[in-house]
Structure 1
Amino acid sequence: MVYLPFFILLCTGTAATFGNMSDRLALIAFKEKITPDPLGVMSSWNDSVHFCNWTGATCSDVHRERIMFLELQSLKLVSSISPSIGNLTFLIGINLESNGFSGEIPQEFGRLLRLQHLNLSDNSLDVGGGNRFTGSIPVSFSNASGLQKLDLSSNNFTGLLPVELGTLRGLYILNLEYNQLGSGSEEANDLNVISFGQLC
């Protein structure tokens, strides 16, 4: 009986810590993909600094220790995007513009149901046009039902727009120019957007 209150307190504290670690672990997995990092941006992403204070990461005032914004634009980062980004489920905005990200977009973006703004444009650091996102635009984007602004311009996406994107009724800015997407796709007609960059 003497140890029971202490045991309960210990269990409660452990559970709270575990719950607050999910976003931190997702950011660490994101960081591990980045190489090189010529400006040393990721140097603040370490155990001596709370992850809410890591460069480019902003936590919610309401949902403490949950990342709301990830803003790492124009920092010369070279990487693919870790699927762990799908674990940052409180994200509202992501801006990775003007870096050297490449590869295909993880389907896990579709798990970001609160996401409103996504900017992955102009990921081309090399003079020859390398380090660009490739592949098709993920169908899973249609699961991010809160999406309002989507900028995928100046990359190397191919194929046609997924017809499922027509379900994003809140989407009002879509920029797809300077990719290798098929022009005049019927899927585009279902999108009610104010700004629609040219498809090819």
Structure 2
Amino acid sequence: LSSLNLSGTLSPSIGGLVNLRYFDLSYNEITGDIPKAIRNCSLLQYFYLNNNQLSGEIPAELGRLSFLEHLNICNNQISGSLPEEFGRLSSLVEFVAYTNKLTGPLPRSIRNLKNLKTIRAGQNQISGSIPAEISGCQSLKLLGLAQNKIGGELPKELGMLGNLTELILWENQILGLIPKELGNCTNLETLA
């Protein structure tokens, strides 16, 4: 249902689609928030809501989607912080959320996302420092958090991300030196 000029809100009745695995409403004019009833779509693997006019916060109930691999909510007006339940998305491979109004720090529960390869969450208002728990994301290849309000020093634990190829953090409020442990990221191709 991508690129069909669809408008309106996402109905809570979406929770009745209990066998849904692939859901794509990208490039439409959908407004309102992501309904909490999404928790009932427990088999969902691909969830694309990018390029709409969605607002509200990411519901904690999203954390119940243990089979979810791809979550794309970029280019919306979604606000609030990533809920701690985000760390329960144990199958998540790709999280794309750039150009929203996300705030607050990255949740420490991010350490549980062992399969996560891509985080693209630039152009938000994410604050706090990058948590040391990021080291738990052993599959991570791309960490993109440019144009946020991230502060503090870069954690030395970034050096434990052996698969990291892109670390993009420009236009933040990061202090201090680049930790020497980053030299352990021998696959790193882009540092910006």
The TM-score by the shorter chain falls in which range?
0.5 to 0.7
Change (3 A) 1:54 1:191: closer
Tell me the equivalent position of 1:126: none
Contact 2:66–2:91 under 8 Å retained in 1: no
2:107 is the counterpart of 1:114: no
Q: What are the residue-to-residue correspondences of 1:28-43 with 2, within 5 Å?
A: 39-43=31-35
Partner-residue secondary structure (3-state), 1:86: helix
Instruction: Name the amino acid aligned to 2:106.
Output: I
User: 2:32, 2:185 → 1: CA distance?
Assistant: 40
Contact 1:39–1:76 under 8 Å retained in 2: no
| Same amino acid, percent of matched pairs | 23
Aligned residues: 146
Tell me the equivalent position of 1:157: 150
Measure how far apart 1:184 and its partner are: 3.7
Tell me the equivalent position of 1:127: none
User: 1:55, 1:161 → 2: CA distance?
Assistant: 31
2:189 is the counterpart of 1:194: yes
Change (3 A) 1:53 1:86: closer
Measure how far apart 1:54 and its partner are: 8.4
Contact 2:142–2:164 under 8 Å retained in 1: yes
Partner-residue secondary structure (3-state), 2:167: strand
2:166 is the counterpart of 1:178: no
Change (3 A) 1:78 1:194: same
Contact 2:47–2:68 under 8 Å retained in 1: no
Tell me the equivalent position of 1:72: 73
Measure how far apart 1:190 and its partner are: 4.0
Q: What are the residue-to-residue correspondences of 1:95-134 with 2, within 5 Å?
A: 95-123=96-124, 132-134=125-127
User: Which structure: greater helix fraction?
Assistant: 1
1:58-81 Cα shifts (integer Å, max 9, x gaps)? xxxxxx971001110011111211
Give the structure-1-normalised TM-score: 0.65
Q: What are the residue-to-residue correspondences of 1:55-70 with 2, within 5 Å?
A: 56=48, 66-70=67-71
Q: Is the deviation greater in 76-85 or in 176-185?
A: 176-185
Measure how far apart 1:159 and its partner are: 1.4
Measure how far apart 1:191 and its partner are: 3.5
Contact 1:41–1:55 under 8 Å retained in 2: no
Contact 1:102–1:134 under 8 Å retained in 2: yes
Contact 1:42–1:55 under 8 Å retained in 2: no
Measure how far apart 1:185 and its partner are: 2.2
Tell me the equivalent position of 2:87: 86
Q: Which has the larger radius of gyration?
A: 1
1:81-118 Cα shifts (integer Å, max 9, x gaps)? 11001111000010111100001110011100000001
User: 1:156, 1:183 → 2: CA distance?
Assistant: 15
User: 1:176, 1:108 → 2: CA distance?
Assistant: 21
Change (3 A) 1:92 1:53: closer
Tell me the equivalent position of 2:37: 46
RMSD across aligned C-alpha pairs, in angstroms?
2.7
Measure how far apart 1:46 and its partner are: 3.3
Give the structure-2-normalised TM-score: 0.67
Contact 2:45–2:68 under 8 Å retained in 1: no
Unaligned stretches of 5+ residues in structure 1: 1-20, 22-37, 58-63, 124-131
Measure how far apart 1:138 and its partner are: 0.7
User: 2:145, 2:66 → 1: CA distance?
Assistant: 29
Contact 1:146–1:170 under 8 Å retained in 2: yes
